[in-house]
Amino acid sequence: MASVPARTDLARTYLDHAATTPMVPVAIEAMTAQLGHVGNPSSLHASGRAARRVVEESREIVAASLGAKPAEVVFTSGGTEADNLAIKGAYAASSPRGRDRVVISAIEHHAVLDPARWLADRLGADLVRADLVEVQVSTSGVVILDELIRAVDERTAVVSVMWANNEIGTLQPVAEVARIARRVGALAHSDAVQAVGHVPVDFAASGLDLLTVTGHKLGGPVGVGALLARREVSLEPTQHGGGQERDLRSGTLDVVAVAGFAAALKVAVEAQTAERARLERLRRRLVETVLAAAPDAVVHGPADPALRLPNVVNVELPGCSADALLLLFDAAGLDCSTGSACTAGVAQPSHVLLALGRSVTQARSALRFSLGHSSTGADIDALARALPEVLSRARAAART
């Protein structure tokens, strides 16, 4: 049997926590405690009931951490599945009643953007093509509420505006978005994948009908997340089988992953206030480091800490190609990104930066640095050491 390849990332500087963040010890402990047990949580025997108990206790933890009721927590394989269930499920349930419009912001994650565009492109016997409206944002990435109000009408099935943007960190007025949707009876959804653990997220207080969260952005395992869905919300499932999770998400639940997800979420929410302050201090140092080496750099997103995430820095470095910068940083032992990890390797400028009014050339010169629970001042020091040579080489390459 072939041996498992060794990881070689232990000595690297990791500044890509918005893509995924290391698992926290409590999540590892919670998962380890379940790895030796057997039992399908849908089975009626003792082993099945024990597995079900872990799932339901985890559901209670998730609900309590996010201001929801346990019955509103639908476990999924992660944020992408939860977003698809929210957008496609809400539309499929509403379109037969004459609600054929989907309204989203122009800077949504592709897990929302692509399902919405798929609905707009689809025409079948059972599902009419959606009237998709992508509402524009300000130059700092905040959805323009006047445009949203004009877009949302009695034909609208679902409105989806992310809680916090994954590329530039902008926080959105989700409570106001929910109120606008409620006025006309539309469902309101928010992808809160990047927000949870960094800013307060309260499902009940937000007025939302649907909310997405995932495990691997907050110190839990990859491959598990949840859609919070109010009990009275009508959704069509996007996959069928055993009828698990309120008949909205069929499939045998991964008890080990669910336990790790719940444990990580609880810790992240409990530590959120102190961690936000700590990361804000590191972020300030990171921005100062970049501007010291590149005074012409442009930092995207709101300057006011109250209006953005504390851990995301999207910076435009004129005269450089972001792809070249990424490779040079990688060679120097530092991990960052050119935007969403879900579109990494795709030779396209960021749709988020284009929506802010940046040109294609400007968008192609932007990098994202993102911090997390394992980040320290040593990471910023490593960036400071690598940055001058990386910039010099990237600019030289751009001139040739």
Crossing angle, helix 272-293 and helix 255-270, to 10 degrees?
80
Q: Which residues make Cβ contacts (< 8 Å) with residue 360, sequence separation at least 6? A: 349, 354
Question: How, if at all, do strands 225-229 and 210-214 pair?
Answer: antiparallel
Reading the block at residue 69, the tokens are 């009721």
> Nearest 5°: CA angle at 197, between 196 and 200?
70
| φ and ψ at residue 346, rounded to 5 degrees | -90, 125
The residue count of the chain comes to 400
Q: Which of 162, 188, 224, 292 is nearest to 20 (CA)?
A: 224
Examine the residue annotation and report whether 342 is marked as an active-site residue of this protein. Answer: yes
Give the three-state DSSP class for 317: coil
Question: How, if at all, do strands 13-14 and 101-105 pair?
Answer: unpaired
C-alpha dihedral sign at 19, 285, 334, 326: positive
Torsion of CA 83, 88, 90, 93, to 10 degrees: -160
Strands (E), 69-224: 73-76, 101-105, 131-135, 156-160, 187-191, 210-214
| Catalytic-labelled residue, pool 307, 342, 384, 397 | 342
Which residues have a catalytic role annotated? 342
